Amino acid sequence: MDLPQLAIAALGGTVSMQARNAGEGVVPTVSGETLLASVPELTALARVDVETLGLLPSASLDFEFLLSVLSWANFQIKQGAVGVVITQGTDTLEETAAFFDYLWAHDEPLVVTGAMRSAAQAGADGPANLLDACRVALAENSRLRGVQVVMNGQIHAACRVRKTDSLALQAFSSPAFGPCGMLVENITRYLRPPTPRTVLPLPQQTTQKVAMLEASLSADTLLLENILELGYDGLVLGGFGAGHVSQSWADVIEKIARKIPVIVATRTGSGSTAHSSYGFIGGEMDLIRKGVSMAGFLCPRKARILLWLLIGCQRQDELASFLLED
């Protein structure tokens, strides 16, 4: 029987971490090859090519590095892989998954996974998550779904998933939407069909800067007042409630929005921004009149990634259509 070809890249993170000496904290040390050896069942499912592209905590990943990982993944598909799996740390997993999803132009799936327990801990979840991710990447019904996150037996769409607990095993969820699928007796089951996707071209530039700030009670405007002078090309705000800011912020934001794109998302962790409910100064209707875009269900972190990519491929004028799709 001719087994399908599967590509795996290891970037580091908790899934790769062990302590070098007793009493010290864990650090990335376990290569992709060693991690693969922990799931011998996979050899019966696919011909696997694995590469260790980095051993980094995910907080230290950056857009330039992710573009190089994407280039590697694109090459694997051209070489005949039916799917690609990437392992990394969970701290920024929801952001890297969204980054890849905006740029993933293949029908074949790209699956991102990680672990909440280090490789040295009893009950380490890395091997199980990796095996589940590989099963999802190999499944025929995973095609046309873009990038997905597989953790703790669940499948989440990259644009919806969030890390909602700092340490718990069940750290990932998709607020308001729920998982799009799950592993049932090792079989990939989806709860809804794939939806049409709009994919961006690779950014032509990578030097653009997009700031992200969160509204908070009685916050001053000093940082806002200096956004343009500091050279930022875009601004994302985590607003109160359904996308609101204080009156003092609204006054400054109006001036910024005349020069660069401004997106307001909700800081709540779930739900959408409003569009036509609140008319007070700093409410969403006022902000829209001032030239601000509302993020809808997109969280502030993913809105920042979207804006960075749009500016990078000189398509920031299409921001409204991307947020409308969300």
Q: What is the DSSP letter of 299?
A: -
Q: Is 188 a catalytic residue?
A: no
Q: Is 149 exposed, middle or buried (0-12, 13-18, 19+ CB in 10 A)?
A: buried
Asked if residue 220 belongs to a known ligand binding site, the reply is no
CB-CB neighbours of 37 under 10 Å = 14
In three-state form (DSSP H/G/I as H, E/B as E, the rest C), the secondary structure along 102-116 is HHCCCCCCEEEECCC
Asked if residue 195 belongs to a known ligand binding site, the reply is no
Pick the catalytic residue from 14, 96, 266, 273. Answer: 14
φ, ψ (nearest 5 deg) of residue 109: -80, 150
Asked if residue 90 belongs to a known ligand binding site, the reply is yes
Cα radius of gyration rounded to whole Å, the chain: 21
Q: What percent helix, strand, coil does the chain show, rounded to 5?
A: 30, 20, 45
CB 265 within 8 A of CB 299: yes
Residues annotated as part of the active site = 14
User: Residue positions in the annotated binding site for substrate?
Assistant: 58, 90-91
User: Residue positions in the annotated binding site?
Assistant: 58, 90-91
